[in-house]
Every structure is written in structure tokens, then in C-alpha cells.
Amino acid sequence: MNGEPGNGTAELLVEIGCEEIPAGWLPDLVGGFASHLQDALERERLGPSRVRGLGGPRRLVARAASVAARQPDREETITGPPARIGGGPGAWTRAAAGFARKHGIGPEGLDAALSVVTTPKGEYVAIRRARPGRPASEVLPGILESALRALHFPKAMEWDARISGVVFPFGRPIRWIVFLFGGEVVPFRIDRLHGAPVTASDRSFGHRFRARGDAAPGAAFRVRSLAELESELERRFVCLDPEERARRLEAAIARREAEAGASRATSLPVTELADLVEWPGTVLGRYPESFLALPEEIRHAVLVHHQKYVPLAGAPAFVAATNLPDDPIGAVRRGSERVVLARLEDAQFFLDEDRRLPLAARRDRLAGVSFHRRLGAFDAKADRLEQLAKRIAPAVGADPAAAAEAAGLAKCDLVTGLVGEFASLQGVTGGLLLRDEGAPESVWRAVYDHYRPGGLDGDLPRTPEGVAVSLADSADSLAGLTLAGESASGGGDPFGLRRAAFSVIRLLADAPGVRLTPHRVLDLALEGYGEFGGPERSEAGNRLRAFFRDRLLHALSRGGRPQEARAVLAGRVLSLRVDDAHRRIEALAAARDGDDLAALAAAATRVRRILPPPPRDLPAVAPDRFSEPAEAALHAALGATRRQVEAAFAASEYPEGIAALARLRPAVDRFFDDVLVMVEDERVRRNRLALLAGLDGLFAEVGDLRELAGRAPGARPG
Amino acid sequence: MSFQDLIATLTGLWARRGAVVVQPYDMELGAGTMHPETFFRVLGKEPWKVAYVQPSRRPADGRYGENPNRLYKHHQLQLILKPAPEDIQDLYLESLAACGVRAAEHDVRFEEDNWASPMLGAWGVGWQVLLDGLEISQFTYFQQAGGVDLSPVSVEITYGLERLAMYIQDVGNVYDLEWASGVSYGAVRRPDEVQSSRYAFEAADVSGLSRGFDEAVAEGERLLNDGLVIPGYEQCLRASHLFNLLDARGAVSVSDRAGRILAVRRLATLAAARHLESGAA
């Protein structure tokens, strides 16, 4: 069943047994390990073989069902001196003989061994010889090493390990390795500076504490294949398949919901919970009903963010995922309830304390919370937000007075005990305290929501005032931090500039009733900093706009339409409203199914090549100077099309406008077929250039069509 | 198992496994990691095993003896094993068993929790150990201390003794723990908690603390430059504690914070470098 390693193919199985790998890393590691192994197998000509990745907190497993037992033989060609100095068959020179000798071929074997080959660089003397493939067992250790070294960890650790003498950092220490080809152990070793090496074997381990039947908890067992590993692990309370583990956890939580007669309050990523455990068990925990008086948001912060428990809606209960098939003495349930109770009591204590002082009275204390070293504290930020939100309000349909009031109070919860304890409750806490104080809904909701959307896909604030405060907050951070010289680069974005930019983009694109361009938002935010930045101010403004432009292009390119996004945004990225740009991009993308747009894109490129750079100083088109029928035809079509495009675009009917433009294609094609633009006669030439300049101007209404030249990229994912 | 039995059990166990058992450091420390037996021993190549209890002061966590879970001063049992043994997780689980925690009846989990101390220029990777959802230990593979990359890698295990004892004794309020037979934790410690909280939040002389901080930094630098590594490092510990007191009073201004942390880290870095130069490691 495992195949014969001597010939043909056999199963390859690797299990890397680790100390607990962080759950958040696991999906990428499981997938990465399999794909790196597959790449290495193909590179070493033992594939193609699909490698399947499995694993859990204590193991990464990869398996290929059929790996070649031997690399195929191949012919290799070693090139020597150029043919002009090496001679040819029957007439090999000393240079050729020297080359042959170097490769172990004597004078008598020259004709048999040497030939002349043609390469891209010319003709060369060459030796062609068969190179036998190596057995898989010799090649596999190198393959595993390269796959392990290719794994990327968000934070790798030094653990005094070496492979082949070279330092080998990893995510967590490796404790055992199963490495089998056709059921036989492939030699592999990780050396340790101190203590015994980790050596490949056929011995694996199950759950630390539990096992079924005659299997002993924690003891090693032998395996020969993936099928055996899976079934033996199942007996030892390890579910190896992450998807299956998530399914079982999902079902287990559903059973607890039925038991409690309540359903999940928030959608927790069950897959991440499932990657915290080897065996997905659950307990149903309860807490005193009196805590239902605590706002739900706070209860959920306790349960979800601190304990990774699943809160149930409307019931004083939660489901905890456990790493156990059962809870034999009820200790797990009682323990989880005890922790939750202590946390809820803490939260209640902080809330009661925080309620003693009105939120507005905390504004002065913001002077003690730093926003940024060069930008001062949050009291100054609150002042700026107040002004900025007031100015933004009319353009987002918000009441300026309510938006300003909310903006001034939005950061006050940074000095509450609740936020000190539960950072995830920023905004929410302020909103809840204001609601308790009897603040108008437009104000408390705006404070509550002002951290939304927090990126391109988050939920939007629910009120226009919330939109105003959120926009003000993100735009103020972008402007100020850029003025202070901060930036996002590579993987690093310590101040969350990208997130802030994406939040602004999402708000401008999707919040109802927003009528603001990015340009305007950024300018207003920059104005909030007065003369801060001094002489570097305008340079910083340019950096801010360039950064935002990149983020906007990225955001609008999503769905596989980078060309359309570049076309629409060309030259006016920040002055188009984002929702408007989005509709234009959609229309352009829809129109790319036909050939007409591609043809016009080619024409646009051609037109730009012919036209002199601006300022062009061309005369108005004079129809009496047309000598070719195609000129007059294009002129007429251009006029009619321009009216249609302008009317459609003015009504934001972009598909209609673009369809009208597409209908121009025959006239454009005919013009380029029949008419030579760059003729000797200057007046004719300039008249024709003027006609093309008009065409160019019409194209520009739609965007820079040159971006669409070439074939549309295939539907690439993401 | 009483609080003192718990301490005796764990220290006895690790002593039998070859650890040198030392006493708490006789200065105010924020955590067992700051004890010279950790800070200096993890540097350099020499193998070392050490265990000790360290009363650890967190002035900002003081609650006047009224909160059932928070303390101005709690107790850590600190263990350093260098190099980290390959079966360290099993050894740790055996130590829980010795305290009466039967793993098969509980949910014992190692969940990612990395540790970093900006003041000590130190960081490591590891887990918090959860016992039925309750954090009872920190488990860290040291990667850097005093700004120095570490090899061999030491493992540090910090048992939160109050938490562990509360679990084992099944009590919900730390002051109800049995310290010794018939003697409660509250009887032993509550006056200290009440008075220390009053000191930290109300009575401490801010300008005196601030002056003390500056003096400690200057004195530490002088001593370290004179090659007096441990006395110099003690000034680093003193500065760190004074910083925590100032912080609890809300007396560290924003512009101050980064500078003061950096000043303490400079001392720690200097101490680590001097220690290694001296060849003591």
C-alpha cells in the first residue's frame, strides 16, 4: 500500500513535532510546508506529486501519495571551447583534447565523446553524457531541509539548533520528526549545541494527557503511512486535519448552543479556535445573571478578547473550546467560570468607577496621554478633531454641532479604567458612558462608532456624525504623523498609517451621502496642524498625497482591475470622489469584454505618440482643410460622441458614456487606415493634429485609455 | 496544600533536579526576571540552573487590600534552566502534578505569549500556561537580555504563586488563601497591601522619587564604568522601581516616559556588557 521504494513511486510522509505553535500562524505554516515540499520535490525531479498539508498546534504534517523512487536519468551537456578553436569530428585540436582530458576522456575516445553543439552564443565543443538519477532516499533529506528553511514565521526563535552545520531558527523548538518514504525512515538530523540531536524516526506522539483503549497517554507509537498516523492519532485524541477539527468544533459549539437554549452572540473565527487545540472539546460555562446588566460589549470583550470564549446572546453563558474530549470532574467548566467571574467583576468595578466622572470632565486629562512625540498629547488631538469634524460634517450629511461635540469627546475614554483594562473597548466605552449620561444619540453613537471601519472591509459607522468623527480621526492621524516624519515602509507600519488610509477610503467610497474628494479631506486635515512642520510642510503634504494615492490605487484595483483603476485615476487620483471613481472603474471593466475598448486603447496610445507634448498650441479644427473623407467622418463622429459622453458622465451614467465612446471605434480605425497625419504640408498636418487632440481630450474624459492597451489580465484571484 | 507548602514543594522539586535554590533579592523588584540570578546568568555560555521565590512589586496594581485578584506585591517562583532541556515542557507538567494538578482532569494549554522588557533590553518567546482558562505561569525562551543575543538559550518559567494556590485551594479571594495551617494570606499580607497602596497612590513624595531616579541613574553609570557590575546593576533595579512608583502616581509625563525607560535600559545594557567583559560568564 505504501509502494516499493526500489522502483516506481511510494508515499512520502513528514511530521514535524513541535512545542505549541501559535494558532494564528498555523494555517500559513501548514499550507507553506506542503507547498515548499512540493516545490522542492519538483525541483529535484521526484514529482510532480501533490503534497497535502495537515497539522495542529504540536505538529506540521505533509504527505505526497506518490513520489518517484529515483530521479529520472538525464543527458547532460558540458560545453568546452568554441568550435573555431576546438575543431570538429576527426580533427579535434589540442584545446578540445585538453577539455576532454579534464573530464576523464583520453585521446582515443575523442570522436566517441565529443561533438559540436549550437548554443545561443555560437558553436561549441561539447561532451554529452548520461547522468543517472539518484535514489530518492539520497535526495529527500536535502528536500526536507530546504522546505523547513523556506517556512516563514512572524517571529522566529533561536533554539541552539543546526542543520548541516548551519544555524536553524524555527517558530518553536522541534521535538520529534517522522520522515518516511514507502514506510522506511529517511535519515535526517537536527543537531543541538547542547544535548541530543532531533533525529528522524517512525515514532510519533499523541495528545499529551489522554488516550483511548490500550494506547498510553504521551507515549510514542510507530507509524508507516499517513493512513496509520491519522488513525493512531485519532485513538490518541489528536485530530490531524485542521478543516475537520474546525467542523467538529463548530458542531460541538452548536450542541452547547442547543443545551443552553441560546445562540452565539458574535461570529468568532472558529478555525482559529480550532487551531488552539489538538482535540476540539467544549464546556458550557455560566456566570451570575446579574452581570447581564453589564453592557453586552463589555461582557464580550471579557469573554472574547481575554479568554477566547464564545459568548451566547442574551444568556449569562459562554462556550469555551477545550483540548479535551470531556470534563471528567467538571474542573474545566468550574475553572473557566471562575476566571470569567473575576474578569466580569473587574469590568463592573471599572465601569462603576468610570461612571463617577462625566466623560467630558476627562478631557483635560488627555494632556497626559501622548499621541505622538512631536505632535503632543490627545488633548490637542481632541481640539483638532472638534474643528475638523465640524468642517467635514456638511459634506457627509451630519449635523455639524453634534459631530463637533462627539469629536471633542471621542478620545476621553482613553483615560477610563475600562479602556486601560480592555483596549479593544476604545470608542465603545466612551459611547456607552455618554449614553448613560443621557447624551443625544447622534453624539454617543458617533463616539461609539468612531473606530469603524478600521480598514477596507470593516463595518461603517451607523450615523453621519459617526462618519464625520471617524473620517476626522483617521485623516488627522494621517496628516499629523506624515508631518511628523513618520511613514509606513515594507512590513512596518507602527502608527497604522495604512489602516487609517484604508478607513478613509472605505468611508469615502461607501458611507451613504458622502460628497468629499480625498484631496479635500487631506487638505482639511493638514490645515488642522496650522504651521506645524515649517519649511518641510509642503514636502510632507506631497508625501501624504503620494502615500494616499498608492493606497487608493491598491484599494480600487481589488477584484483584479488594476489597469482600469490606473486608467480612471490617471492624473486626477485625489480629485475624483472615491465612490465616483469606483463606479467609473466598474463601467470600464464591464466594457472590456468587447474588442472596441481594446482597439480604442491602442488608438489612444497611437494618438499620444503622434501628438507633440503640451502645450501644443494647435489651431481649432478647420473642416475646410479636410482632404480625406475619413477626416470629416471622424470629426463628425467625434462631435456627436462627445455630446453623448458628456451628457452620460454628467448624469453618472458611466456604462452609457463608455458605450458611446466604444461606438467611435470604426471612425477612428478608418482614420488611421486612410489618413497619414504627418504630411509635409504644415497647415494640413496641424489641422489633423488638432483633430487628434480633440480625440485625445475625449479619451481623457474617460481616463487614460493607454492603461488598457494589451490584453485584459485573466481573472486573477484577489 | 497551603501557600507555604506550595513554595516548599516547587523549590524542593527543582532543587532535586539540580537547581541552585537562592533567596529573593533584597531589593524592590518588579519581577523575578530582574534578579541578578536571572539577568546575569542567562548571558554567556556557562550552564546554570537556579530557582527562587521573588516578591514582585507592581505599584500600579495596588488595590488597598480590597480587590480579590490584584496585589501591590505578589510572589513569583522563578526558574532558570540554561541550556533549556529538551523535555522542559514535560518537566514543567510534572511540577504541576507534584502540586496536585492531575493534567488528565484539566485543560492545560500553552498559548502564545511573548515577553519583552524594554527596561532590561530583554525579550523572549513562549507561552502563558493556562490551567482551565486561568493563567498560572509564564514560559519563556530567552532570546536577548541587556541587548545581547543569547546562546545557549535559557528557559525561564515563572509560576504565579497566588494564582496557582487559589486554584489548588479553590478559593476566589486571594486574602482567603491558607498561607500556613490556620493562617490566612490576609493575616500575613493585608496590612502591607493597604499601606503600600496608600504609599504608592497618596503618600509617596513625587519630587523625591524623581530625584532618586536621577541619582540612581547617575550612580549606576558611575559604578558600572568603575567595573562594579552588581552594585551598578542594583542602581538600575532601584531606578526601575522608582519609575514604577512615579508611574503609579501618574507622575511620568509623556515626554518623560521614553527618556526614563531608555535611561534604565542603558544601565541594563551597560551592566550586561561589563559582566561579559569581566569574563564572569
Whole-prediction pTM value?
Answer: 0.79
Q: What percent of chain A has pLDDT over 90?
A: 67
**Domain spanning B3-200, CATH class:** alpha beta
Cis peptide before A717 (omega within 30 of 0): no
Residues with Cβ within 8 Å of A670's Cβ and at least 6 positions away in sequence, in order, are: A630, A633, A634
pLDDT tens digits, A598-629: 888 888 988 988 898 888 888 899 999 998 89
Partnered with residue B122 across adjacent β-strands are B117
Q: What is the pLDDT of residues A617-671, one digit of tens each?
A: 888 999 999 988 999 999 999 999 999 999 999 999 999 999 999 999 999 999 9
Find which of B107, B110, B141, B249 to mutate to test the A interface (most A CBs within 10 Å of its CB).
Answer: B107
**Residue located via cell numbers 489602516:** A499
Contact A159 B47 (CB under 8 A): no
Phi-psi map region of A511: left, alpha, beta (phi>0 left; psi -120 to 50 alpha): beta
Q: Is the pLDDT of residue A490 over 80?
A: no
Q: CB–CB of A158 and B151 under 8 A?
A: yes
Q: Do A368 and B254 touch (CB under 8 A)?
A: yes
Segment A130-135 shows an average pLDDT of 90
Instruction: Choose among A22, A323, A370: nearest Cβ to B109.
Output: A323
Span B115-124, mean pLDDT?
93
> Which of A175, A217, A339 lies at the smallest CB-CB distance from B86?
A175
Instruction: Name the closest residue on chain A to residue B250, using Cα atoms.
Output: A368
Where do the structural domains in chain B lie, given as residue ranges?
3-200, 205-277
Residues 6+ apart with CB under 8 A from A675: A628, A630, A631, A688
Q: What is the mean pLDDT of residues B214-236?
A: 97
In chain A, residues with a C-beta closer than 8 Å to the C-beta of B108 are 208-209
**How close B152 gets to chain A, by Cα (Å)?**
6
Rounded to a whole number of angstroms, the distance from the CA of B26 to the nearest CA of chain A is 31
Q: Which long-range contacts (CB under 8 A, 24 or more apart) does A62-65 make?
A: A62/A13, A62/A14, A62/A33, A62/A34, A62/A37, A62/A147, A63/A11, A63/A12, A63/A13, A63/A14, A63/A226, A64/A11, A64/A12, A64/A37, A64/A38, A65/A11
Across the interface, of A277, A320, A349, the residue whose CB is closest to B133 is: A320
- Answer yes or no: do B112 and A157 touch at CB < 8 A: no
Nearest to A276 by CA among A300, A254, A299, A249: A249
Which candidate, A188, A189, A155, places its Cα nearest to that of A172?
A: A155
Q: Which residue in A155, A192, A334 is closest to B114 by CB distance?
A: A155
CB contact under 8 A, B107 and A160: no
Judge whether A570 lies within some domain.
Answer: no
3-state secondary structure of A250: helix
Of residues B14, B25, B64, the one with CA closest to residue B198: B64
Identify whether residues A598 and A492 lie together within a single domain. no
On whether both A695 and A659 belong to a single domain, the answer is yes
Q: Mark yes or no for CB contact B105/A329 under 8 Å.
A: yes
Distance, in angstroms, between B83 CA and closest chain A CA? 7
Residues A391 and A492 in one domain: yes
Return the residue in B132, B142, B167, B176 with the most chain A beta carbons within 10 A, the one to mutate for interface testing.
B132
Distance CA A323, CA A237 (A): 9
Q: Are A359 and A437 in contact (CB under 8 A)?
A: yes
Instruction: Select the residue of B67, B141, B254 nearest A370 (Cβ to Cβ).
Output: B254
A179-to-A16, A545, A664, B24 alpha-carbon distances in Å: 9, 53, 66, 47
Per the structure block, which three cell numbers stand in for B11? 523549590
What is the torsional sign of CA A516, A517, A518, A522? Answer: negative
Is the Cβ pair B106, A196 closer than 8 Å? no
Query: How many domains, chain A?
Result: 5
Q: Are residues A412 and A518 in the same domain?
A: yes
Write out chain B residues lying below 8 Å of A20, CB-based: 109-112, 127
Of A194, A310, A365, which to mutate for an interface test with B (greatest number of B Cβ within 10 Å)? A194
Residues 6 or more apart whose Cβ sits within 8 Å of residue B28: B57, B237, B238, B241
DSSP tag of A121? T
Q: What is the 3-state secondary structure (H, E, C) of A472-539?
A: HHHHHHHHHHHHCCCCCECCECCCCHHHHHHHHHHHHHHCCCCCCCHHHHHHHHHHCCCCCCHHHHHH
In a shared domain, residues A118 and A154: no
pLDDT computed for residue A447 by the predictor: 97
CA distances from A192 to A174, A199, A382, A518, B194 (A): 11, 11, 55, 56, 50
- Inter-chain CB proximity B255 and A373 less than 8 Å: yes
Q: Is the pLDDT of residue A4 over 80?
A: no
The pLDDT tens digits for A271-330 are 889 999 999 999 999 999 999 999 998 998 889 888 899 999 989 999 999 999 999 999
How far B223 CA lies from chain A's nearest CA (Å)?
A: 32
Question: Does the pLDDT value for residue B258 go beyond 80?
Answer: no
What is the side-by-side order of every strand in the sheet holding A74-82? A74-82, A122-131, A114-119
CA distances from B256 to A365, A373, A382, B118, B262 (A): 16, 10, 22, 15, 10
- Taking an 8 Å cut-off on Cβ atoms, the answer to whether A342 and B153 are in contact is no
Same domain for A690 and A659: yes
Instruction: Show the DSSP H helices in A261-330 as ranges.
Output: 270-274, 296-300
Residue A715: inside a domain, yes or no? no
Give the H or E element holding residue A376: strand A376-377
Q: Is the pLDDT of residue A5 over 50?
A: no
Q: Is residue A717 scored above 50 in pLDDT?
A: no
pLDDT at A269: 80
Report if residue A466 sits inside a domain: yes
* A543 lies in the same domain as A599: no
A192 to chain B: which residues are within 8 Å by CB? 86
Say if residue A491's pLDDT is above 90: no
Same domain as A693, residue A599: yes
| Cβ-nearest to B254 among A19, A193, A377 | A377
Which of A305, A325, A355 lies at the terminal end of a domain, its last residue? A355
Contacts of A195 in chain B (CB under 8 A): 83, 85-86
Q: Going by C-beta distance under 8 Å and a sequence separation of 6 or more, which residues neighbour residue A531?
A: A537
Contact between chains at A339 and B127 (C-beta distance less than 8 A): no
Q: Check whether residue A29 and residue A173 sit in a common domain.
A: yes
Same domain, A544 and A622: no
Size of interface A-B (CB pairs under 8 A): 108
Query: Where does chain B have alpha helices with state H?
Result: 3-16, 36-39, 88-98, 161-169, 185-198, 206-225, 229-248, 254-277
The pLDDT value given to residue A598: 84
Rounded distance between C-alpha atoms, residue A16 and residue A56, angstroms: 10
Buried b (16+ CB within 10 A) or exposed e, A188-214: bebbbeeeeebebbbbbbbbbbbbeee
Residue with cell 483638532: A384
Is there a single domain that holds both residue A157 and residue A264?
A: no
Q: Is the pLDDT of residue A138 over 90?
A: yes
Chain A hits for B133, CB-CB cut-off 8 Å, are 307, 309, 320, 332, 335-336, 339-340
Considering only A351-360, A497-506, A697-706, B149-158, which range has the smallest mean pLDDT? A697-706
| ipTM associated with this complex | 0.95
Is pLDDT above 70 for A1? no
- Give the three-class secondary structure for B128: strand
A640 Cβ contact partners less than 8 Å away, ≥ 6 residues apart:
none
pLDDT at A571: 76
DSSP letter assigned to residue B57 = E
Per the listing, cell 511620568 goes with B252
How far is C-alpha A489 from the geometric centre of its chain's CA atoms?
A: 15
Check: CB of residue B195 under 8 Å from CB of residue B244.
no
Instruction: Please indicate whether, in this complex, the C-beta atoms of B143 and A192 are within 8 angstroms of each other.
Output: no
| List of residues 6+ apart from A331 with CB closer than 8 A | B105, B106, B132
CB contact under 8 A, A158 and B150: yes
A212: closest CA of chain B, how far (Å): 12
Partners of residue A369 in chain B, C-beta under 8 Å: 254
| Average pLDDT taken over every residue of chain B | 94
**Mode of pairing for the β-strands spanning B134-145 and B122-131:** antiparallel
Mean pLDDT of B217-241: 97
Asked which of A190, A216, A235 is the last residue of a domain, the reply is A235
3-class DSSP state of B150: coil
**SS3 state at A205:** strand
Residue where a domain stops, chosen among A200, A235, A270: A235
Asked whether the beta carbons of residue A173 and residue B86 sit closer than 8 angstroms, the reply is: yes
Which residues of chain B from 108 to 167 reach within 8 Å of chain A, CB to CB? 108-112, 114, 125, 127, 131-134, 141, 143, 149-153, 167
Grid cell, residue A712, equals 485584459
Q: Which three cell numbers stand for residue A639?
A: 462631435
Q: State residue A531's pLDDT score.
A: 86
| Average pLDDT taken over every residue of chain A | 91
Nearest CB among B110, B134, B152 relative to A339 is that of B134
Domain around A251: 242-355
- pLDDT value of position B234: 98
Residue linked to cell 472574547: A304
**Interface touch A157/B110, C-beta < 8 Å:** no
Angle, helices A400-409/A441-449, rounded to nearest 10 degrees: 50
Each residue's pLDDT tens digit, B174-222: 999 999 999 999 999 999 999 999 999 899 998 999 999 999 999 999 9
Report the alpha-carbon distance of residue A182 to residue A188 in Å, rounded: 16
* Chain B: residue whose CA lies nearest to A329: B105
Q: Is the pLDDT of residue A12 over 80?
A: yes
CATH number for the segment(s) B205-277: 1.20.58.180
A542-570 confidence digits (pLDDT tens): 999 999 999 999 999 887 788 889 988 88
Query: Cβ neighbours of residue A285 under 8 Å, at least 6 residues apart?
Result: A309, A317, A318, A319, A320, A333, A336, A337, A340
Q: Which helix (H) or strand (E) holds A430?
A: helix A428-437
Q: Cβ of B104 and A217 within 8 Å?
A: yes
CB contact under 8 A, B111 and A20: yes
pLDDT confidence band for A715 (50 / 70 / 90)? very low
Residue B141 to residue A336, Cβ atoms within 8 A: no
Residue A92 and residue A62 share a domain: no
Residue type (1 letter), B271? A
Q: Inter-chain contact A20–B110, Cβ cutoff 8 Å?
A: yes
Residues of chain A with C-beta less than 8 angstroms from the C-beta of B111: 20, 23, 276
What CA–CA distance (Å, rounded) separates B110 from B127?
Answer: 5
Q: In this structure, how many other beta carbons lie within 10 angstroms of the beta carbon of residue A426?
A: 17
- Cβ–Cβ below 8 Å for B132 and A332: yes
**Residue of A25, A58, A59, A158 to mutate when probing chain B, most B C-beta within 10 A:** A158
Question: Which of A22, A157, A309 has the CB atom closest to B141's CB atom?
Answer: A157
Which residue intervals of A115-176 are DSSP H helices? Answer: 136-150
* pLDDT at site A76: 84
Q: What is the pLDDT, as a whole number, of residue A77?
A: 87
Instruction: Tell which wins on pLDDT, A217 or B178.
Output: B178
Q: What is the distance between the alpha carbons of residues B183 and B166, in angstroms, rounded to a whole number?
A: 15
Nine-digit cell at A322?
A: 477545550
Structure confidence at residue B254 (pLDDT) = 55
